[in-house]
Amino acid sequence: MKKLMRGLGLALLPLSVSMAWAQEHPNTKPAEVYLAGTGSATGELEMYQSTDPKAPPMTKAEFDAARVIYFDRCAGCHGVLRKGATGKPLLPELMQNLGTESLKVFMTYGTAGGMPGFGTSNELSEKEIDMMARFIQHPAPLPPEWGMKEIHASWKLLVPPDQRPKKKMNNINLDNLFSVTLRDSGELALIDGDSKKIITILKTGFAVHITRFSGSGRYLYTTGRDGLINLIDLWMETPQTVATIRTGSDARSIDTSKFKGYDDKIAIAGTYWPPAYVLMDGFTLEPKKVMSTRGYTYDEQEFHPEPRVASIVSSHIKPEFVVNVKETGKVLLVNYSDLKNLKTTEIEAERFLHDGGWDSSKRYFLVAANMRDTVSVVDTKEGKLAANVKVGNKPHPGRGANWKDVKYGPVWATGHLGDDTIAVIGTDPAKHKQNAWKVVRSLKNHGNGSLFVKTHPKSSNLWADAALSPDDAAHKSVSVFNLKNLDAPAEVINIAEIAGITKGRVTHPEYNKAGDEVWFSVWGPKTGESAIVVMNDKTRKVKAVIKDPRLITPTGKFNLYNTIKDIY
């Protein structure tokens, strides 16, 4: 029986659950399921359905449909095991106390803490919301494990390196290339930043969370929420995928080695399920090492079964990856110079780490511990925690934004999911020690639910979205601040209205290489209309609106040059 469970990828599940699963599905190997371009792989896997007599009844069909929706829409914030992180815990007893009708209200209208209204945004139907309200009152189904055997079996080298071009075969200005996530279609659009024309649409994993580029600028790496990674060669006449791999069944982060001498050589991907990170050959995606992040929380020293890898960045000053482990509150500095004798520095930061970015010097990494209303600052040169900075309610910076403040010197900023402020933190302990690791300004955004803030070294503007605000006008608009006069209120611009779109959320400002344009996604319904709006950064007027039936639910956009150089 133990051998059977290991073969099914169920070795670490509770014995009673594992046996029940194996008996119910004797001929299925869930850890070998390989799904491309669909919803979260975790949601698609068969799982043992536990029943609770105190929970409202569900049919098997309803349960199966609900768990797919949960992993696609909810697990990122609330966790696969529903223990909470960015979102609150959704444990059965708590949910049963709230009851189906109350839960339906939360799901329909959202909350001030940043949870979107799935009903008011037409993302879920009334029937689906009723089904989800009942589903989360049942115990969470447990997905199977995923080890090196399964990871390696999923690896597909479509075009070996020796069969790829020896020189660039197209006339694309790669430095100003934009990679655009088409969330619900499981695709990626490559858009020429100069002409604003779509170069190609590529099939990827579902809801690509992030795009990263190799140090040379030749290769593009994506990871979908379903754990599927695509390696795309940008030198080909028309860029195409040359390798794929699945590192798990739920994922969010990927990056590549940037330290001098290691350009393009090593890739790393972090997974939500199983909680781990995987080191790979950067040219082929061949997996080299998988490392679990299960362990003990830094503060209470309690074992946690689901410490997810939330974000990863690559150091410019050392051969290291900065790996942020959400639930245990630990930042790992993973030295990739010798994978056989892997050296890792473990830093105690704060729990529920999420996303973050570098300060302007590229020495300090600032990461949001959003459920603790904190930004943790890691000194990657010294390999230790520099500070924990208290900010607003649920910080969500994306990569954040850096500029030289007229009064406080170098600063970095984050918006918040749970309030309408933007926290500005001093980042120069050498020349502005009195301001370092303190909130020196609190700016007024036009709404809560901010996902991203952005500026550019050549810009005097700071742009902020409010994409998850429950207020219709707020999530269609952006705030733009004059960095030379931050005492003045922000200008609020309705980007969706400019695009002529009535249903949509505006998100993810991204600059072009020159720093004179800022691009926004107008994220409409899957069956509706979406767009990319390009604003003139200096005049704050619309420069272009990119519309195309193929632009289905565009979300994140990544400019190649700015992404490689960590310019934000």
Tokens representing 536 are 């003139």
Candidates 138, 209, 304, 354; catalytic one: 354
Cα separation, 189 vs 550, in Å, equals: 9
- Cβ(48)–Cβ(23) under 8 Å? no
Q: Return the ∠ at Cα 455 (arms to 85 and 407), rounded to 5°.
A: 100
Candidates 138, 209, 304, 396; catalytic one: 396
Cα separation, 165 vs 515, in Å, equals: 31
Q: Which helix (H) or strand (E) holds 244?
A: strand 240-246
- Please give the pLDDT value at position 548: 98
Tokens representing 96 are 């049963």
Cα separation, 534 vs 511, in Å, equals: 9
User: In 3-state terms, what secondary structure has residue 565?
Assistant: helix
Residue 61, φ and ψ in degrees, nearest 5: -65, -40
Candidates 74, 107, 132, 535; catalytic one: 74
- Cβ(29)–Cβ(8) under 8 Å? yes
Residue showing tokens 């954040």: 400
Q: Please, what's the largest Cα pairwise distance for the chain?
A: 69
Q: What is the DSSP string of 501-562?
A: -SS-EEEEEEE-TTSSEEEEEEE--TTS--EEEEEETTT--EEEEE--TT--SEEEEEEHHH
Question: What is the pTM for the complete model shown?
Answer: 0.83
Q: How many CA atoms lie within 13 A of 426 on its CB side?
A: 18
- Cβ(516)–Cβ(534) under 8 Å? no
Q: Is 77 a catalytic residue?
A: yes
Looking at residue 224, its amino acid is G
Tens of pLDDT, residue by residue, the chain (568 residues): 233 233 223 232 332 233 332 333 333 332 222 222 334 455 554 544 556 888 999 988 898 899 888 877 888 788 888 888 778 889 999 999 999 999 999 899 887 766 878 888 778 899 999 999 999 999 988 788 899 999 999 999 999 999 999 999 999 999 999 999 999 999 999 999 999 999 999 999 989 999 999 999 999 999 998 899 999 999 999 999 999 999 998 899 999 999 999 999 999 999 999 999 999 999 999 999 999 999 999 999 999 999 999 999 999 999 999 999 999 999 999 999 999 999 999 999 999 999 999 999 999 999 999 999 999 999 999 999 999 999 999 999 999 999 999 999 999 999 999 999 999 999 999 999 999 999 999 999 999 999 999 999 999 999 999 999 999 999 999 999 999 999 999 999 999 999 999 999 999 999 999 999 999 999 999 999 999 999 999 999 999 999 999 999 999 999 999 999 999 9
Per-residue 3-state assignment (H helix, E strand, C coil) for 423-468: EEEECCCCCCHHHECCEEEEEECCCCCCCCEECCCCCCEEEEECCC
Q: Is 535 a catalytic residue?
A: no
Q: Is 74 a catalytic residue?
A: yes
Q: Is 138 a catalytic residue?
A: no
Tokens representing 354 are 């999420």
Candidates 47, 115, 132, 280; catalytic one: 115
Candidates 5, 47, 58, 78; catalytic one: 78
Q: Is 354 a catalytic residue?
A: yes
What is the CA 392 to chain-centroid distance, rounded?
20
Q: In what order do the strands lie in the sheet with 477-482?
A: 453-454, 461-465, 477-482, 491-494
CATH architecture of the domain with range 2-135: Orthogonal Bundle (1.10)
DSSP state of 76: H
Candidates 5, 47, 58, 77; catalytic one: 77
Q: Is 396 a catalytic residue?
A: yes
Q: Which residues pair with 177 in a beta bridge?
A: 192
DSSP state of 184: G
Cα separation, 46 vs 23, in Å, equals: 13
Tokens representing 62 are 């309803």
Q: How many CA atoms lie within 13 A of 357 on its CB side?
A: 27
Domain limits, the chain: 2-135
- Please give the pLDDT value at position 51: 66
Tokens representing 350 are 């704060």
